[in-house]
Homo-oligomer: A and B are copies of this chain.
Amino acid sequence: MPEIILEAAALDYSYPDGTNALHNINLQVKKGEKLTILGSNGAGKSTLFMQFNGLYHPSSGCIKYQGQAISYKTKALIELRKKVGIVFQDPDSQLFSSSVYQDVSFGPLNLGLSEQVVEARVKQALIDTETTDLEDKPTHLLSYGQKKRVSIAGVLAMEPEVIIFDEPTAGLDPRHAREFMHLVKNLSSEGKTIIISTHDVDLAYSWSDRLAIMSSGEIIAHGKPGELFLQPDLIERADLALPWLIEVHCGLVAKGWLPPSTPLPKSKEDLLMIIPHSPEHLTNCPIIP
């Protein structure tokens, strides 16, 4: 069994004004996995993330890192935040320095690393996010997609074990979203544990190893994406929609073209592949690489 790196155990959280935000959250994050927290706006995804990083204290229950309940003393928190990085949704509030270089160096400098180490880490983070050519640009002149990447570089430069992305593709156009997914794939293959929150069901379905569905501050289900998305009442309850891959797959099964036992397609290539050829084979539709 893979190691559990991060865990929420019987976690409750109420905002200072008394609003109940999270209720009885139990979630285990396995080392190296790709986990998606899926839920509509206001389901409590971001609030849960703040817990993982020690930004909020739970009202009851606890967060464990590598099996140890985390401590909220300053020193322990610094150690935790070194290990668990969050890329917030709005890059505008993540980039608070005037130049890209300064911003990316903020985290490592705070860790008290030597200047050489900081410089090396910043360089590497800029390379990983393909933002090296932006190094000297003032942050406010960047495009939305560039800001997003620089904000990721700022977290990468701290070399965390677990990286949490809050609604990473919101506001990104298809190309930038693709590039982002590519970057995340690389991070994942380097062994990082990745948690993403989103309400984009297509992304959640295709990308994740495991899925947790949140609704009104609770985790109402978790498991393999292919299993969860075949429970329409669950999806409905969480105010979500079905991924189109599943809709088409089910449509084909319903019409009798695919046997019900066909495994669900994970990507559009999969889907197009499992559609069997018809005897008369004609085409003039363009095929996109």
Residue ranges of A at the interface with B (Cβ–Cβ < 8 Å)? 39-42, 143-145, 167, 170-176, 178, 199, 201-202, 230-232, 235-236, 239-242, 244-245, 247-257, 259-260, 268, 271-272, 275-288
Write 15 A-B pairs (CB below 8 A) sorted by A numbering.
Answer: A39-B173, A40-B175, A174-B201, A174-B239, A174-B241, A175-B239, A175-B241, A176-B239, A235-B288, A244-B244, A250-B287, A251-B272, A256-B279, A260-B282, A260-B283
Copy number of this protein in the oligomer? 2
Closest to A280 in B: B256
A20 → chain B closest CB, angstroms: 15
A170 to B276, CA, bound (A): 36
Cβ-defined contact, A248 with B271, below 8 A: yes
- A280–B172 CA distance with the chains assembled, in angstroms: 43
Q: Are B40 and A285 in contact (CB under 8 A)?
A: no
- SS class, residues of chain A in contact with chain B: loop
A170→B167 CA distance, assembly (Å): 11
**Known contacts A145-B41, A176-B41, A252-B275; is-contact A282 B257 (Cβ 8 Å):** no
**Known contacts A248-B271, A276-B255; A172/B283 CB under 8 A:** no
Known: A249-B285, A254-B283. 14 other contacts (CB 8 A): A40-B173, A41-B145, A174-B199, A174-B240, A230-B285, A235-B288, A247-B272, A250-B285, A251-B272, A251-B275, A254-B285, A254-B287, A257-B275, A260-B283
